[in-house]
Structure 1
């Protein structure tokens, strides 16, 4: 069983979506965690767009990376440049991955335009998560 940590700035949108999809695609091959260098709570719009794709993240919590310092991670995925650059020293032998997804929480416009940005980012993260699991946990 592999341990995977997804890191973002506030653990509210991108890392929560990635946690949901990684858990979905990994099945029983991995334990998935997500955390932030800060905690901002799970964004209701992230919960909504994931529910549209039949993934329930409403039970997720926003966690600080310090809470997981004693877990032996195999993979650490940063999903924003800020987390990659500002993550405190995290003692791990984990293989590190990075992809800078746009922050849907910063979307502006009409409510429909904002939700469309959440969906666009969700779909990007879904593709990334599926490919990550296929490439790293296919055994």
Structure 2
């Protein structure tokens, strides 16, 4: 029997779960076959669950629920109140503050002082 035929039989036995051959050529072929084998198998239950979820979402998209008559009333999703405050800066500029939280006079003064320090700063912006 030729050496090639012997290697082929040895490789087939190893792929079927038999003993691993000791010659280098057959071991390399076995390693190559192992590299081509998929690393994981798909679970039929997960495949089915994914398919079912996709079909449920498709059906939901095709048949949206009807809008309620009282939608948007008393559900806590009303438009928030925007608080606005105008503050004079020391150099004559104006600062407009807007927030969904109430703007207290102390908070407006602190913000104006902080902005004034930034504007009075002699340090130039390093980005161009």
TM-score range, shorter-chain basis?
under 0.3
**TM-score scaled by length of structure 2:** 0.20
Higher relative contact order, chain-length normalized (CA < 8 Å, sep 6+): 1
**TM-score scaled by length of structure 1:** 0.19
More strand by share: 1
